[in-house]
Structure 1
Amino acid sequence: MTTEPFLETDLLGEPWVARRLPVTVSEDAPGADHAVLVHQRQAMPAPGQGPRHTRAVLYLHGRNDYFFQTWLADALAGAGYEFYALDLRACGRSGVGYRSPHDVRDLRVYDEEITEAARIIREEHGHTVLVLNGHSTGGLQAALWAGDHPGAVEAVTLNSPWLDLQAGGLMRSYGSAFVDLLSRRDPDRIVVSDPLAQGVPGWAGDGDEPADWAFGATLGDVSDDLYGRTLHRRWGGEWDWDLSLKPTPSFPVRAGFMAAVRRAHRDVHHGLGIEVPVLLCCSTASATGAAGEGLTPQEALRQDLVLDVSQMVARAPFLGSDVTVRQIPGGVHDLVLSPEPARSDYLSALTGWLATRVG
C-alpha cells in the first residue's frame, strides 16, 4: 500500500502546501534533519491522472532567503510549468529553530534533498521535463548539482548566481586561504556579519589585509543593509517578506560556510561541464560594498547591490558549453524583486528562453 505524503498548508496560505523531506543528519550541517518542499496543492495529481503540466521548475533560494515570490510561480505556470520550491536544510522554513540558519560546511550536503525533490517531481507527480532555477547562492548550488548529476534536468536557469567572491584577485586567493585555515580551527567563527548585502568588509582591494573587525563581527543595524531597506515594505519598499526567515541585516556568515562557498567557486573556475542549456540572468550594473554608499533609493533600485554582475558574466562560460547570458536593465540582485519594468523584462526573458530551448 502506498502512503500518501503529508501535506500541510504552507505559510503562504492555500493553495500552497509544504512537505517535510527528512534528510540524513551530517556534520556539514549539525542537527539539521529535514528540508521543505513547497508547491501548490493541485500539483499532486489525483490517483490515476497525470499532472496538470508535464513540465516543472524546481527553485533553489539564495542565502538568507526562502521562497515567497509567488509571482515567479505564476509567470512559469502561465508558460506551462508546474512550480516547486525547496527550502534547503537549515534554511528558511527548514531553519526555524536551527542554531545558525543557512550555515553549512559543504554545499554538496544539499545533494540529498535536491535529488529527493527531483525524484518526487518526476516519479510521484509524473513530470517528464524538469528545469532547475536558482538565485544567488542557490544559483551556485543549482549549477553544482546539475554538473554533478548529468541527465537529471533538461535545463538550468540562474538568477544572479554567486559564482565568485566580490573582491580583488589577491584577496580571492590569500583571503580564501585564510578563511579555509580558520574554518578548520573554528568553523563557527563569524567572519563577517553580512557579506552579500555589503560586499565583504576588508576584502575590497588587492593590496589590503582582511580588516580585523571583519572577523568576529556581529549583526549590524538595518541602516547597514541598503538592499533590504530599499525592498522591504517596512522601510518603504514594495515587498513584505517574513523578516524572521529573511532578516535584514542577514544571518551572520561563519568561517565553515565561507570556506565551503570558496571551494564551490573553485569548482566553477575549473569548469562544471553542465551538459544541458543554461540561462544566466543578471542586472546590467552593480554597486557592491563601498560603491553602494550614498546611493539614493531610486539609484539603489536599479542595480545589483549584492554581487558583481561582471563576475557573473565572466564566469558564465565555465558553467557549460551552451550558456545564454541575458542582462536586465534596472534589475536588482533578486531579479524577481526588481521594480517594473525590469521585473517583467526578467520574467519574459526567462519564459521566452524556456519556450525556445525547452518547449
Structure 2
Amino acid sequence: MSTGPGLTWEPDPLGPGWEHVTLGVSASDPGLVTTVVRRTPAPGTRPGGPAVLHVHGFNDYFFQTHLADALERAGHTFYAVDLRRCGRSWRPGQVPHYVDDLAEYRVDLGLAARLVRDALGHDRLAVHAHSTGGLTAALWADSPGGRAAVDALVLDSPWFDLDARWFHRVVSTWVLDTVGPVDRMRVLADGPSAYSWHLHVANGGRWDYDRRLKPAEGFPVRAGWLRAVRRGQARLARGLHIPVPVLVATAAESGPNSRENPLLDAQDTVLDVGQIRARAHHLGDDVTLLSVPGGIHDLTLSADVPRALYLDAVTTWLQRTAPPR
C-alpha cells in the first residue's frame, strides 16, 4: 500500500487526540497489515523536524501515551507501530504475534519509516523499541533499509538472549531446531506471568490498557516463533554493524517472575539484564549503556521515580546524539 498523503487516518481507540493509519504489507493477503499511530496534528500544522517511532514487544501494543508526552516535550513528533498480527493489526483467524522469521518485520518497519520520513517530511528518525521489538529493530537497523532510515536507536530492555534456566526448562536447542520447521504452531510455553498480571490497574497496577491485546497470561510461545527469535539472537551474537548511535537501557537488576517476589515492581522479572549488557556491544561501534535503578522490564511502565529517570535519560541522549538538523 502507498504511504502517500492520500491515506486515511482514522480515530484511534486511545481516544480523542489520537489517530492511526493501516498499511497493507502483502499484496497476496489483504488482511496482513501494520498500523501506525500518532497524535492528531493541530489544524493547519505540518509535520516536520525530528520524529521518534516506537516499536512494541511480544504480548504488547502501543498504549504508553506518557512516552509520547515526554518525547514531544523534548521536541520530537511521536509515532508508534503495531506490527503485523499484533495489537491493532491483529485480525480474526491470525495467530497473534506470530512470524516465521523476524526479517518479515522489515517490511512493516520500512513502511512506517517511509511514511514518517517521506510522506510526512520528518528530517530525522529515531526508533524506540522494547524487548522483542528491540531485537527486531536492531536487526532491521543493520539492514540496508534500516541503515537508510534510522538516525538513532533506543532499546528498552531488548531481548538479546534467552534466560538459560527458562530455555532448558521449556525446550532444548535440539528440540527447537527439530520441531520448529515442521510443527511451527506447537505451543512450547503458555500460562500466567506475574509481571504482566501486576501491571494492570485491575490488579493493583498503575496502567490501564486493552487486556485482549495484552493479556496477563500472555500469548502462547510457539515453536516456529521461538525459533525465529533464537535465529535473530544468533545473528546478533555474530555481530552487527549498526552505523548510528545506540542506547541500550535495562533495569538495574533482574529477579524472579513471581507474585511472591517483593521486588516485582522494581526488577526486570522477564529478562536477564546481565545478558543484555553482555550482548549490547555486538550492535556496533557507538553503544551507550543505561542502568535504571528500580526499573522493571518495560522501563516506560516503571514506578514514578525510575520511569522519570529513564525518560529524562532518553530525551537527553537523543538531544545529544540525534539533534534536529
Same fold (TM over 0.5): yes
Residue 239 of structure 1, CA deviation: 0.7
Correspondence 1:124-143 to 2 at 5 A: 124-143=119-138
* Structure 1 partner of 2:298: 334
**CA offsets 1:161-204 (integer angstroms, 9 cap, x no match):** 000011159949x92332121011200100111xxxxxxxxxxx
Quick one: which amino acid aligns to residue 157 of structure 1? V
Aligned-residue identity in percent: 44
1:32–1:89 contact (8 Å) kept in structure 2: no
Q: Name 2:287's counterpart in structure 1.
A: 323
- Shift of residue 273, structure 1, vs aligned partner: 0.7
1:243 corresponds in structure 2 to 211
**Aligned residue number for residue 311 of structure 1:** 275
> Which of 142, 151, 159 is the aligned partner of 1:147?
142
TM-score, normalised to structure 2, is 0.92
Query: Are residues 1:294 and 2:260 paired?
Result: yes
- In the alignment, the residues of structure 2 paired with residue 231 and residue 259 of structure 1 have an alpha-carbon distance, to the nearest angstrom, of 28
Change beyond 3 A, Cα 1:75–1:3: closer
For residues 98 and 288 of structure 1, do their structure 2 counterparts lie closer, same or farther at Cα, with a shift above 3 Å needed? farther
Aligned pairs for 1:164-243 (under 5 A) are 164-167=161-164, 171=168, 175-193=172-190, 220=191, 224-243=192-211
Give the corresponding residue for 2:56. Answer: 61
The one-character-per-residue Cα deviations of 1:286-323 (angstroms, maximum 9, x if unpaired) are 0145xx46313xx1100001111001100000011100
TM-score (norm: length of structure 1): 0.84
User: Counterparts of 2:74 and 2:177 in 1: how far apart (Å)?
Assistant: 43
Please list the CA deviations of residues 101-123 of structure 1 after superposition, one character each: whole Å capped at 9, or x if unmatched. 00111111111111011111111
- Counterpart position of 2:238: 270
Letter aligned with residue 60 of structure 2: D
Aligned to 1:257: 225
Q: Is contact 1:176–1:262 with CA below 8 Å preserved after alignment?
A: no
Q: Give 1:151 deviation, angstroms.
A: 3.1
Distance (Å, rounded) in 2 between the aligned partners of 1:101 and 1:353: 34
Per-residue CA deviations over 1:109-147 (Å, capped at 9, x if unaligned) read 111111011111111111000001100000011101101
* Structure 1 counterpart SS, 2:241: coil
Looking at structure 2, the residues matched to 103 and 305 of structure 1 have their Cα atoms a distance apart, in angstroms, of: 23
1:171 to 1:228, Cα distance in 2 relative to 1, 3 A: closer
Equivalent residue, structure 2, for 1:214:
none
Q: CA RMSD in A?
A: 2.1
Aligned to 1:208: none
- Structure 1 pair 288–315 and aligned structure 2 pair: CA distance change class (3 A): farther
Change (3 A) 1:275 1:302: same
Indicate how the Cα distance of structure 1 residues 96 and 247 shifts in structure 2: closer, same or farther if over 3 A, else same. farther
Structure 1 residues 82-121: aligned runs within 5 Å: 82-121=77-116
Q: Is the 8 A contact 2:5 2:119 kept in 1?
A: no
1:13 alignment partner, one of 7, 15, 31: 15
- After superposition, give the CA deviation of every residue in 1:252-281 in whole Å (9 maximum; x if it has no partner): 011000000000000110011101000011
Contact 1:303–1:332 (8 Å) recurs in 2: yes
In structure 1, how many angstroms separate the alpha carbons of the residues matched to 2:273 and 2:16? 36
| Counterpart residue number, 1:200 | none
Distance 1:293 1:242, change over 3 A: closer
Amino acid at match of 2:137: A
Aligned partner of residue 14 in structure 1, secondary structure: coil
CA distance in 2, matches of 1:348, 1:96: 36
In structure 1, stretches of 5+ residues that fail to align are 194-219
